[in-house]
Amino acid sequence: MALKTKGMFLVGLLIALLALVAAGCGGSDGGGAPEALPSSSCTAIEYEGDGDPDYLVVSDLPLQGASRTQTIQIANAIRYELKKANFKAGDYNIGYQSCDDATAQAGKWDSGKCSQNANAYAANDKVIGIIGTFNSGCAGIIIPVVNQAPDGGIAMVSPANTYVCLTQGGPGCDTTEPDKYYPSGTRNYARVVANDAYQGGADAEFAKSIGVKNVYILNDKEAYGLGVATNFRGAAESLGIKIAGFEAWDPKASSYEALFGKVKASGADAVFLGGLIDENGAQVIKDKVAVLGPNTGVKLLTPDGFALQGTIDDAGPASAGMYMSVAG
C-alpha cells in the first residue's frame, strides 16, 4: 500500500476516534488529568494543547522487529494529525501515548505484552480510543479485554488486521468467532483494511493469471497465517487450481529443506506462504530457493505479512522474483 494511501487511512482512523470523543463515548466523566499508561510499554503522554488533556488516545503497534519501519510511520502519522487538530476533539483535549506490543526477545508482537497492554487500557478510565493493532493475533487478545472495560467498551480501530474471523464467521473460523471477541454483546472494534477473504481470493486469481496449476500452501500456524492460507486454498480450488499440499512450517526450525523436499516431490509449480516474515520467514524463503530453485521457476506467492522491507533485507537474493500482496 502506498504511503499516501496509508496516510489517508490513518486520517480516517483518527477522525473516527476523535468523533467518538466529541460525542462523549466511553471514558470517565471525572475531572483531572489522565494517568499515564505504564512506561514499560508506552511513551510518556504527548500533548501540545492548552491546559491538560481530558482523555487519551493510544496506538498499539509492534515497535520492534521487521514491522518497525511501518509502525513508526503510523505512530508519526497519528502525531501529525493530532497536531493539526490542536490535540482537540470538540470541547475535549486529547493526549496521545504510543504503546509497543512487541518484545526484543520475540522481535515481533508478543501475546504476553498484548495481554498486559489490554489490561492497562481497560483499567485506565481516560483511555477512549485505540488505534491498532498491527497483527491480528494481538487484536484477538486485546479486543475482548477492552470490550468489557469497567467504564464501558473502548473504541478500537485497526489499519492492518486482515484475519476474517475478528469481525465475521465463515470458512476457517471457529464456531465461537467472532462472538468470543465481544463478551459484552456490543461491538467496539472495526478495521479500515480489506480482510483476507478478499486478499486470499485476489492472490488465487493472480496465481491463475500467471499460469499456476498446482500450488503447495504453507502457513505459520498463527491466526493470520492459517487464516489467509485457508482463504487462499478455498479460492484456488474454486478456480480449478490443484492443491499439492497444505501444512505448517515450524517457526523455530533451523532448516526447511526437508519440507521443501516434500514440496518438490509433489510436483507443485508454486508455493504460497501464509504468515509473517517475523516467523522465520526469511529462512523459509532461502530454503525454498535452495531446494526448488529461483522464484522465476517454481513461483513464490505471499500475502501482506511478507510485504515489508525486512523480507528483502533478511532473505536477500532469495527474495528476487517473489510476489507479495497487500490488502489495500
pLDDT digits (tens, 9 = 90+) for 155-208: 999 999 999 999 999 888 999 999 999 999 999 999 999 999 999 999 999 999
Please report, rounded to a whole number, the percentage of residues in the chain having pLDDT higher than 70: 91
Domain segments of the chain: what residues? Answer: 3-191, 196-324
Can you give the pLDDT of all 328 residues of the chain as single tens digits? 333 333 444 445 565 565 555 544 455 555 688 999 999 999 999 999 999 999 999 999 999 998 898 999 999 999 999 999 999 999 999 999 999 999 999 999 999 999 999 999 999 999 999 999 999 999 999 999 999 999 999 999 999 999 999 999 988 899 999 999 999 999 999 999 999 999 999 999 999 999 999 999 999 999 899 999 999 999 999 999 999 999 999 999 999 999 999 999 999 999 999 999 999 999 999 999 999 999 999 999 999 999 988 899 999 999 999 999 998 7
CA atoms of 48 and 259, how far apart (whole Å): 54
Alpha helices (runs of H) in 3-67, residue ranges in sequence order? 3-22
CA atoms of 58 and 156, how far apart (whole Å): 10
Task: Name the fold adopted by 3-191.
Answer: Rossmann fold (3.40.50)
Dump pLDDT digits (tens) for 193-204: 999 999 999 999
The confidence score (pLDDT) of residue 33 equals 87
154-177: buried (b, 16+ CB within 10 Å) or exposed (e) per residue?
A: bbbbbbbbbbbbbbeeeebbeeeb
Please report, rounded to a whole number, the percentage of residues in the chain having pLDDT higher than 90: 86
CA dihedral 159, 165, 223, 220 (to 10 degrees): -90
Domains 3-191 and 196-324 fall in the same CATH topology:
yes
Q: Which CATH number fits domain 196-324: 3.30.70.980, 3.30.465.10, 3.30.70.3270, 3.40.50.2300?
A: 3.40.50.2300
SS3 (DSSP) at 149: coil
